[in-house]
Structure 1
Amino acid sequence: MNKPPTELSRQAPTKSELIQIMVGLGLAMLLSALDQSIVATAMPTIAADLGDFVHLPWIVTAYLVASTAVTPLYGKLADIHGARAMLLIGVAIFVAGSVFCALAPSMGLLALARAVQGMGGGGLIALAQTVIADLVTPRERGRMMTYFSIVFIAASVGGPALGGVFAEHLHWSLIFWINVPLGLVAFAMSWFHLRRLPQRRHPHRLDIAGAALLVVGSSVTQLALSWGGERLAWSSAPMLALLAAAAAAWALFAWRTRAAEEPLIPLDVLGDSVVRDATLSGAFGLGTFIALTMFLPIYFEGALGLTADQSGLALIPLTIATVTGATISGRLMSRIRHYKAAPLIGLGAATLAMAALWLALGALSLAALDALLAVVGLGVGAMLPVTTVAVQNAVPAHNLGTATAVTQFSRQLGGVFIVAIFGAIVIGGGPVAAPEALRAAFRTALGVAALLTLASFLFMARMEQRDLHGEG
């Protein structure tokens, strides 16, 4: 049985304390954001040093699978024990995993250490957003979350460069050692400055069976989508077995959610129309963005003849525009009542830009292509803070952690699905060498991306615009 939540109110932090809290949360988010970008450029060096290229993809797969699978668990546990306690645990596990990664003598142990690291990093972004929700009203949350944009700019732009410098001129283990001082500072700031965070307590049992089914379902799904068409043929017996296992785990999780007295994700959260529409809009929008950032370098280098460095620079407009869109939309939430206007305009323009890319890809200069990608980034970015705050605003306070984590989880899983779709289109049949063939494959992928962006727009349009708590 659900028991009434226990609220332990504490004096609101002062402005200077709030700044210190934001810095600590920013560092915690930087750990997760930086890790996803700094490793990529060092992978060839890591494989050469450890003498194992065959299992190299596992250092990415292990982290992504673990971090995605545990995200909902962090949210639920934050509702039980408080966001501060779970944030401290997440940072500690992440730092420990980073040390294990730096000391790993083989690819197998490195992959295992990356899984540990992912178990810590999986909750950092959702927990930081939950802490913000505990500190300020929904009307102010969008504005507060925009300060984290600096973190993602630094991670997206600086991460690959830093990873390359460490791997080429120093030692690849430094990409993991750097997490130790950052993590210790984030832990210390969270330990001291989050003590005044208003405490939420909702005493209940954790649905262990539901949690296990969710972890199995999401993990097996990610493995199947990561391996399909590359390591395993989609029609092969092992792949069909993986897909069947994933379907069975999800079906059992759905049954458990309906049957359990206290399910891992409460039915009133899943049943809320705002939660459904916001999470689906976020999954389609951010998933498309993730797929673009992963596969566009293949087009830049294979069809346009850019170098790896030039390809990285060509992605910057998309990244910067996404952060800019999030900043504008988040700040508008505290100033205008019709907060859906910015993401609707942005996603509408993004859909048209994706359609233009699909129709005219072969005739576009690099500058024109980047300009259209920037429009896409602005639209996706404008959607992100609105969907997060709308979900938090729609649920009771004792479910804030769970709802925020479900939102982040759906975005991550959406990214896995859409990346798999792009992979099947672009490289599913093997490497595409001829520029014209590559251009044709990307036209198809961009047509799919236009439909997915349109889906994000439609779910945003359908989402009910409820008054934000604290709105006058």
Structure 2
Amino acid sequence: MFERPSARLAYTALAVTCFAIFLAALDQTAVSALLPVIIEDFEGAFSPTSVERAGWIITAYLVGYTVVMPVMGRVSDLFGHRRVFNVSILIFILGSVLCALSPSLYWLSAARALQAVGGGAIVPIAMGMVGYSFSLRQQAVVIGVLVAAGEAGGVLGPLYGAYLAEPFGWQAIFWVNIPLGLLVIAGVRLLVPRWPRRRVPIDWRGALLLALFLAVVTAGLSGQRTAGWYGFVLPMLGAGLVLLAAFIWVEQRQEHPVIRLSLFRNISFSAANIANVLEGVAMITALVQVPFFAYTTVAATPIEGGLLLVRMTVMIPLGALLGGFLVNRIGHRYVAAGGFVLAATGMYLVSRWRLDVSGVAQTRDLMIAGFGFGLNSPALAAAVVATVSRTRLAASFAIHIVAKVTGMMVGLAFLGGWGIYRFESELSLAGLPLLDWDRLTAIVEQRSMDAILLVLNRFFLVAAICCALAVIPSLFINVRRDAAEVEET
């Protein structure tokens, strides 16, 4: 029978892992505010080609982050969380150094992918540490704290990056990761206790197939904006289906698979992951389009756009903290469903914004949506944790995060393809008085603004619909905490 560490050791370990998650989330979103600065530094001027290449700086990180999570979660279960955690931080630091020294956008994208390999391993390993340190009834609250730490990093990332780069250059956001990463490693060695590990062979074939599947599908969805559906996306998705079929075939024949497919027979586990996919679509829509609304309607700077987004993101960690406390009191399903109802309400209100929307209305609508996004996160995560054994906590939670990131990739593909098509359809120049230049200019500007606003409203409405749909799988979550507690201990 496993003996948990003392309360003091458990909470010091929680503090260290929270800081590591905060650091990874901070870096993940910091670059988004600095893309214009990075493009000018490498290319000298903006162009469609340079913007396209710069987009892979974010995409490469997302690909690496998505690919590594389920693999490293299983590796940490088998080889020890402390050791793998510190190796992951070292990879994150190495990637940061290469990012700061990058001579081109292509090199920077590759370095970001390496950096994501380290950053993507942090969350599932931290969840494994939680599983060994706290009882099942405590885990819901602790997961809320971990989610809040990650969301807080995401909240501050764009502003942190913009303010740090202004006096020191964009490379500063990567150089600062060296001392911060070393501080995390020191904290792990001094404050985090050791956990037992199992000498079980790793399913490397399954890990490779899963990594290839995630990389191919993610790259395919990301490339539809520039490469086209028929020439690139559909072939990549077809290749992804072949890899997925091969992965399932291999996993069904492994004694110790990377992902135990039988987990998906559990209704609560499957329902929580389905809801997380839908939340990913809705959240990426808000994260991308709220700043874009600010840029296009009032010509805001990246910092000003980030400040508008903060009105939503600042509520996410607050909602996560409350959600963690409510799970043990009213149940996983009701907390998750209630969070999605609030998020759907907030995004619906945002979808009704006009050019003259007041600051009070913006704050109200975004705070409602952000609080809802935060409220459901610990409920979904705790439902996943409660359905697996301790030895598979990290790997199973990695599946949960991958589900959300997959939803984000679908959302990005939708925004890129459908949004551009709708904008071009709305911006019709037929019937314009081409001989009257002044009038033509005024009409084109007005039609452009109307088209942008219409497309943004549709984006936010889609986000609201996704949140409303997520209520359905949330209500299928039914975690029997007392029975799970007996089984786990």
TM-score for both structures, normalised by structure 2 = 0.86
Of 28, 36, 44 in structure 1, the residue corresponding to residue 36 of structure 2 is 44
TM-superposed deviation, 1:126: 1.9
- Asked if the contact 1:69/1:215 (under 8 Å) is kept, the reply is yes
TM-superposed deviation, 1:71: 0.5
Residue 111 of structure 1 corresponds to which residue in structure 2?
109
The one-letter code of the counterpart of 2:472 is L
- Asked if the contact 1:425/1:441 (under 8 Å) is kept, the reply is no
Of 187, 202, 210 in structure 2, the residue corresponding to residue 206 of structure 1 is 202
Determine the C-alpha separation between the residues in 1 that align with 2:279 and 2:158. 24
Residue 453 of structure 2 corresponds to which residue in structure 1?
439
Determine the C-alpha separation between the residues in 1 that align with 2:422 and 2:101. 37
Of 343, 347, 350 in structure 1, the residue corresponding to residue 340 of structure 2 is 347
TM-superposed deviation, 1:428: 4.5
TM-superposed deviation, 1:460: 0.6
TM-superposed deviation, 1:304: 5.1
1:455 aligns with 2:475: no
Determine the C-alpha separation between the residues in 2 that align with 1:22 and 1:11. 14
- Asked if the contact 1:27/1:183 (under 8 Å) is kept, the reply is no
Of 45, 61, 64 in structure 1, the residue corresponding to residue 62 of structure 2 is 64
Determine the C-alpha separation between the residues in 2 that align with 1:127 and 1:422. 32
Matches within 5 A, 1:119-198: 119-148=117-146, 151-152=149-150, 154-194=152-192, 196-198=193-195
Residue 221 of structure 1 corresponds to which residue in structure 2?
217
Of 408, 416, 419 in structure 2, the residue corresponding to residue 426 of structure 1 is 419
Of 397, 419, 423 in structure 1, the residue corresponding to residue 390 of structure 2 is 397
Residue 434 of structure 2 corresponds to which residue in structure 1?
none
- Asked if the contact 1:24/1:185 (under 8 Å) is kept, the reply is no
- Asked if the contact 1:55/1:107 (under 8 Å) is kept, the reply is yes
Cα 1:108/1:305, change in 2 over 3 Å = closer
Determine the C-alpha separation between the residues in 2 that align with 1:319 and 1:64. 19
Residue 330 of structure 1 corresponds to which residue in structure 2?
324
TM-superposed deviation, 1:11: 5.7
- Asked if the contact 2:332/2:478 (under 8 Å) is kept, the reply is no
Residue 31 of structure 1 corresponds to which residue in structure 2?
23
1:408 aligns with 2:401: yes
Determine the C-alpha separation between the residues in 1 that align with 2:173 and 2:303. 19
Residue 231 of structure 1 corresponds to which residue in structure 2?
226
Determine the C-alpha separation between the residues in 2 that align with 1:426 and 1:365. 25
What is the percentage of aligned positions where both structures have the same residue?
26
Residue 286 of structure 2 corresponds to which residue in structure 1?
292
TM-superposed deviation, 1:319: 0.5
1:84 aligns with 2:82: yes
- Asked if the contact 1:76/1:264 (under 8 Å) is kept, the reply is yes
TM-superposed deviation, 1:381: 1.1
TM-superposed deviation, 1:231: 1.4
The one-letter code of the counterpart of 1:33 is A
Cα 1:168/1:428, change in 2 over 3 Å = farther
Task: Give per-residue Cα distances to partners, 1:84-117, cap 9 Å, x unaligned.
Answer: 2221221111111111222222332222221111
TM-superposed deviation, 1:373: 2.5
TM-superposed deviation, 1:76: 1.1
Determine the C-alpha separation between the residues in 2 that align with 1:153 and 1:112. 25
SS of the residue corresponding to residue 170 of structure 2 reads coil
Determine the C-alpha separation between the residues in 2 that align with 1:56 and 1:78. 33
Residue 417 of structure 1 corresponds to which residue in structure 2?
410
1:385 aligns with 2:360: no
1:365 aligns with 2:358: yes
TM-superposed deviation, 1:120: 0.8
Determine the C-alpha separation between the residues in 2 that align with 1:360 and 1:171. 35
SS of the residue corresponding to residue 6 of structure 2 reads coil
Residue 437 of structure 2 corresponds to which residue in structure 1?
none
Residue 318 of structure 1 corresponds to which residue in structure 2?
312
Higher Cα Rg: structure 1 or 2? 2
Determine the C-alpha separation between the residues in 1 that align with 2:176 and 2:119. 15
TM-superposed deviation, 1:149: 5.5
Task: Give per-residue Cα distances to partners, 1:231-288, cap 9 Å, x unaligned.
Answer: 11223x2333222222222222233233444332112223221110111112212431
- Asked if the contact 1:91/1:120 (under 8 Å) is kept, the reply is yes
TM-superposed deviation, 1:181: 0.7
SS of the residue corresponding to residue 123 of structure 1 reads helix
Which moves more between the two structures, 118-127 or 147-156? 147-156
Cα 1:360/1:62, change in 2 over 3 Å = closer
TM-superposed deviation, 1:186: 0.6
Cα 1:50/1:307, change in 2 over 3 Å = closer
TM-superposed deviation, 1:366: 4.0
Determine the C-alpha separation between the residues in 2 that align with 1:322 and 1:157. 8
Cα 1:403/1:117, change in 2 over 3 Å = same
SS of the residue corresponding to residue 199 of structure 1 reads coil
Determine the C-alpha separation between the residues in 2 that align with 1:46 and 1:349. 37
Cα 1:309/1:368, change in 2 over 3 Å = same
Task: Give per-residue Cα distances to partners, 1:275-304, cap 9 Å, x unaligned.
Answer: 101111122124311221112222222245
TM-superposed deviation, 1:402: 1.3
Of 266, 274, 284 in structure 2, the residue corresponding to residue 280 of structure 1 is 274
Cα 1:205/1:19, change in 2 over 3 Å = closer
- Asked if the contact 1:322/1:381 (under 8 Å) is kept, the reply is yes
Cα 1:105/1:371, change in 2 over 3 Å = same
The one-letter code of the counterpart of 2:156 is G
- Following TM superposition, the consecutive aligned residue runs of length 4 or more in structure 1 with deviations greater than 6 angstroms are 430-433
Determine the C-alpha separation between the residues in 1 that align with 2:6 and 2:454. 56
Q: CA RMSD in A?
A: 2.5
Task: Give per-residue Cα distances to partners, 1:137-196, cap 9 Å, x unaligned.
Answer: 1211222233346634652343223322333321322111111111111111112222x2
What count of residue pairs does the alignment treat as equivalent? 458
Residue 3 of structure 1 corresponds to which residue in structure 2?
none
- Asked if the contact 1:94/1:119 (under 8 Å) is kept, the reply is yes
